[in-house]
Amino acid sequence: MTFGSTAGETPPAAGGWREGDPNGRRQWVDGTVPGLGLPVRIAYETWGALDESRSNAVLVLHALTGDSHAAGVAEPGHPTDGWWDGLIGPGRALDPGRWFVVVPNVLGGCQGTTGPLSRAPDGREWGSRFPRISVRDQVAAEVVLADALGVSSWAAVIGGSMGGMRALEWAVTEPARVRSLLVLAAPAASTAEHIALAAPQLGAIRADPVTGMGIARRIAHLSYRSAVELESRFGRDVQEDGRYAVESYLDHHAEKLTRRFDPWSYARLTEAMNGHDVGAGRGGVRAALRRVTARSVVAGIDSDRLYPLAQQEEIAAGLGVPLRVVRSAAGHDGFLLEVAQVAELVGELLATLSVDSGVGGPGC
């Protein structure tokens, strides 16, 4: 399928950061991901400073359509406000006066890290030609970043949703480099239901990238919110134009995403999430979780229908810690919206490090 003048490139209507756009707060590291055979450039943002012992670094990992701009206002180069702004800042759970907070844009993303919007060796955007990647590839790219920053171990690795998948993969793949861990609203492995939910989204994008991503966002957004919330907010309300209010709500979110995100990035990241299985090649999930040495907090959202509590219970049981529950009517998106509850979990995890070296078995 051809859009514009060059086959395979993202049509100009799609969003995402491109060379020549304002850099904003981004910094970059260049390297090569072992086993991927692809030179990568990793965009990231930081808050605070690395201390002399290099022991105060915290890695925060974003979800599917997030990016490195976890805190701060929208500004040139950053189309949206920080997605976890309530967690990062003076007096907050991730206080830059104490912690060196690092937030990378994921490999395959579209906000400055190598992905479908990057230029391939032939000088054209990768677009649909960008190779398939895995969650493990994404973590390997983040290891390149950690090495470049001189961080031999993270005080904490924290992530929700797709970020939670990567946080868990970090703790299993690089146990000596993760001293504490927060996995929030994420599974140990994607299920048949997850893959089935993604299938029509991917099909829509492959048929027509821009229109298809809007359709994909509508489908996905239904899994991000709860039925109770949708009913209470919209019910069967009809607008003056004759459309149901809930339809307009979904259209709004589809339009917003199309303006700031790249469809082929959406596709490649969704495929990586489909392939997520922390136990693959490791003897299964239970055996993989036994590799984790980090002090761990595992939490889920009580109304999450995308990654229900039973999936976090599997992780918690494998790590030998109690499951923590975030109460929210919002569904899966509660990991972003229930900032006060998430801040309590982060504060609890990091408070342990303030009285302990953080070395030891899992548990909190």
pLDDT digits 0-9 by tens, 284-306: 999 999 999 999 999 999 999 99
pLDDT at position 2? 27
* 248 part of the active site: no
The question of whether 208 is a catalytic residue gets the answer no
Catalytic site residue from 265, 304, 328, 333: 304
Structure tokens at 174: 């690089």
> Using one digit for the tens of pLDDT, what is the confidence trace for 77-120?
999 999 999 999 999 999 999 999 999 999 999 999 999 999 99
Question: Rounded to whole angstroms, how far apart are CA atoms 294 and 356?
Answer: 13
Which residue is catalytic, options 69, 194, 221, 332?
332
Q: Which two tokens stand for residue 279?
A: 């136990």
Whether the predicted pLDDT of 307 surpasses 60: yes
Query: pLDDT at position 357, please?
Result: 42
Active site residue 356: no
**Helix residue spans in the chain (DSSP H):** 135-149, 162-173, 192-207, 209-224, 227-233, 245-260, 263-274, 285-289, 309-319, 334-337, 339-354
First to last CA, the chain: 52
Report how far apart, in Å, the C-alpha atoms of 189 and of each of 166, 169, 195, 280, 300 are: 11, 10, 11, 9, 15
**3-state helix, strand and coil shares in percent for the chain, rounded to the nearest 5:** 40, 15, 45
Q: Where residue 352 falls among pLDDT bands split at 50, 70, 90?
A: confident
Catalytic residue among 161, 190, 226, 265: 161
pLDDT at 37: 84
Return the number of other C-beta atoms located less than 10 Å from residue 13's C-beta.
14
- CB-based burial of residue 101 (10 Å sphere; 0-12 exposed, 13-18 middle, 19+ buried)? buried
Q: What is the pLDDT of residues 310-342, one digit of tens each?
A: 999 999 999 999 999 999 999 999 999 999 999
Exposure b/e, 15-46, CB count within 10 A at least 16 = b: bbbeeeeeebbbbebebebeebebebbbbbbb
